[in-house]
Structures are given as C-alpha cells and as structure tokens.
Chains A and B, each alone.
Chain A
Amino acid sequence: MTTLNRLNQYRVMWVLVFFDLPTETKKERKQYALFRKNLLKDGFSMFQFSIYTRCCPSRENADVHIKRVKSFLPPNGYVGILCITDKQFGSMELFLSTKPIKASTEPQQLELF
C-alpha cells in the first residue's frame, strides 16, 4: 500500500498515560474504573496494566487528547501523561519472555478490511 510519507509532516504522535490509582475503598475502585473507561472511550488502548496508549495523527490532535485526559483525572492517585513522536515510539524494544516481539505500528490513514 502506498504510505504517504508526507503525512509524517503531520507529526504522528503517541500519547501514553501511566497511572497508579488507590483501590482500597469501594469509592476509589469506582473512580479507578471510571478513569479507565474514560480512557477507552477516548480511543486509548491498553499497552500494559495501567499504561494506556493512543496514536494521534498530529501534534494538535495529541494536545486535544491530553487535555481530555486532564479533564477526567481521578481525584486521588498518581497519573503521568507522556507525548512522544511515532519514531520514538517505534524505536521501543519489546520482549515477550526474552524473545523480541514487534511493536504495534501506527494505524494507516487508509485501511482495507
């Protein structure tokens, strides 16, 4: 498929959200579940437990999603939001029990199913 190199000018970005939330009380567990649900609704997908990622086609779009995550932060807990370029994300090395595995690539502008 023809990948449009120029789309790179749009600076594909990955937003990563890391969180450690307390789950001592019932209320805290509810807040945790809600935060996770909101992340899913915003198009994030689980990378590891409590690390969620989203691919954004542009920096501006990444800003939108960072802002949105900030809008539904849980009242308690420790949350990190990191925004990196597709190149940086792509250079991550991943292992499954010492065996290197391939990272998920950015979604294409055009997809055929």
Chain B
Amino acid sequence: MIKRTLYFGNPAYLKARDEQMVIEYPGGDTESKSIPIEDIGVVILDSPQITITHVLLNKLLENNAAVITTNERHMPSGLLYPLESNTLQSERFAVQLTASVPLKKQLWQQTVQTKIQNQAALLKSVGVDVEPMLYWARSVRSGDPDNYEGRAAAYYWKNLYMGYINDIIFTRGRNEDEPNNLLNYGYAILRAVVARSLVASGLLPTLGIHHHNRYNAFCLADDIMEPYRPFVDKVVLEIVKEGLDYTQLTKEIKAKLLVIPAMDVKIDGKSSPLMIATQRTTASLYNCFNGASRKMLYPTFS
C-alpha cells in the first residue's frame, strides 16, 4: 500500500489522539486536521516552530514511519527510525552480519550494473551517446574492482545537465553550485525511504555491502539507493528544464521533489510506486543474505 508523505513547513502543533495524528495551528483560527497514523510513510518537519508530542513520535515509530528533521537551511539533518520493526530482527541481523565477502561483492556488482544502466537510460532520454555507459555496465566485475561506477558517474554528470545549465559546467558535489541543492534534498528523501524499507525488512541500515565509511550510519541505505538515484536526477532535470528559479528551495520545488516516494518505477516488469519498489528491493536483499536467492530486485529506468 502506498503510504502518505506529510511535509510541515509552517508552525504547527502535532499530537496524537485516537491513533490519529492531529494537526493544530497556533492561534487556533484554522481548523485542526487528523490523519490516521497507520497511513503515514514519511513525515518531514521543516519549521523551527513545530511542537510534537512524545506520544505521537512513539506512535509514528511504531507504525514504521520515517521522521525527517531539517536544519536551518531546510536541508534534511536527521532521520528517526524504529529500533524494532521486524519481528525476526535478531535472526535477520545475524544473517546480515555473517554474509560472506564474495556474496557482498556480487550484490555490489549487481547494484553498480543497474545503477549504470539506469543512468544510461536517463542520459539516452536527453540525447547523449550512451554506448560507453552500456559498455561499462556490461564490464562490471564482482565488487567492481575497476571502479566502473566512478567512470560512469564522471561521464554521466558531465553530460546530464549539459545544455540546460548555461555558462557553468555542472559539477556534482554536496557543496557545489545549484542544482546540487535539489539533488541533495531529493537524495535525502530517497535515503529516508530506503532506510525505512531496510528496517522494515529487519536489516541494519548501518552495515553496508560496499560503503563502509566509519562515520556513516546509513551505509547499507547508501548502497541500496544507488540504482534509485537516477529517478531523483530525472525529477531535478525536469525542474531545471522547466526554467524555474532553483537557486532557492521554494515550496513549489519541494512539492515536486517530495513526489519522489510516489513516483512510478518499473520493477520486475511491473510499474509500482518507488516506495513499494524499495520494499521489494530490501526484501530481495534479505533473501540474498539468507541464501534463498542470488539476485536482487532493482527498478529499471524507462
């Protein structure tokens, strides 16, 4: 089932009543609203004037909603996820922790391959020659020792926004120029959605199959979201193409980026919302860890 995404950009009191999330506005002139907590998938708190009760936070976690907080620059700064959301948690953690290195390398190979293919499909849609990308995708070996991921990324970013962003050459980086701010925002949402699916599948989002930065708490989420990134890139590309002023993260632009969890992606031959696809991906990852399968389910870009 597709869960709802709630974004709070204005002062609000949030509390729980009768298993519903109740939204009240300070001043009390606007009517309060209630939303069933079990229908909520993502909550984004993006105003310094939001008051939220402990009971509500707890209920949101119990229902496995991803709660995202933002900093003063309105960029996502934190993600709250439940400690216990899968009944077989300890068994699943154990399976994940004992996964063999060759298996992890193979999973990473599949991940990189799909990522490059998806990047290539997006590039193709803007009319760039994707022959080298497809070649790199084919050549990825177990564990990607030749770093085709990096080579493909360099080619991809060099060409993706070519012709849409004038007078500067686009560089992808966390603190680089626009539209990197949009990409960061979109990726943060995507990361929250993936982390939510991972914990729902009883996996530890911290322990990655490839990423292993000791300061990163979401290595596995970062691994699994790789093939999904081009979907965010596409949304950003559309915003850039529309000619909107994207130097600021306006409400309008955020609304476009927040559609990401409900975006249509093709997985296993069927269209499904991205939020559902990530759940299938994480479920297939668990099946790989416990030996039931050797293939991960990833969406294909079309």
Query: A-side interface residues toward B, CB under 8 Å?
Result: 1-2, 4, 6-7, 10, 37, 40-43, 45, 54, 57-58, 60-61, 107-113
Contacts and interface: CB of A to CB of B under 8 A. Distances in A.
A112 to B, nearest CB: 5
- Closest 6 pairs (CB-CB, A-B): A43-B36, A40-B18, A41-B19, A41-B18, A110-B5, A112-B7
Contacts of A37: 18
Interface string B25-57: 000000000111011000000000000000000
B39 A57 contact: yes
B7 A110 contact: yes
A109 B262 contact: yes
A12 B163 CA distance: 41
Contacts of A45: 34
B262 A7 contact: yes
B169 interface: no
Contacts of A40: 18, 20
Contacts of B7: 110-113
A100 B6 CA distance: 31
A69 to B, nearest CB: 14
Interface in B186-210: none
Nearest to B251: A112
Interface residues on B, range: 20 to 34
A81 to B, nearest CB: 17
Contacts of B259: 2, 4, 110
Contact of A43 (B1, B9, B19): B19
A6 B5 CA distance: 17
B4 A110 contact: yes
A33 B145 CA distance: 66
Contact of B256 (A2, A58, A109, A113): A2
Contacts of A2: 255-256, 259
B10 interface: yes
Contacts of B165: none
Contact of A112 (B2, B9, B273): B9
A61 B18 contact: no
Interface in B243-297: 251, 254-256, 258-259, 261-262, 264, 271, 273
Contact of A110 (B1, B38, B255): B255
B21 to A, nearest CB: 10
11 contacts: A2-B255, A6-B271, A40-B20, A42-B36, A43-B36, A107-B4, A108-B4, A109-B5, A110-B4, A110-B5, A113-B23
Contacts of B18: 37, 40-41
B7 to A, nearest CB: 5
B6 A113 contact: yes
A113 B9 contact: yes
B36 to A, nearest CB: 3
B12 interface: yes
Given A41-B19, A57-B39, A110 B258 contact: yes
A111 B264 CA distance: 18
A94 B2 CA distance: 29
Given A1-B255, A43-B19, A43-B20, A110 B39 contact: no
Best-buried of A1, A61, A107, A111 by chain B (most CB within 10 Å): A111
Nearest to A111: B6
Contacts of A6: 264, 271
B276 to A, nearest CB: 10
A109 B2 contact: yes
A2 B19 CA distance: 29
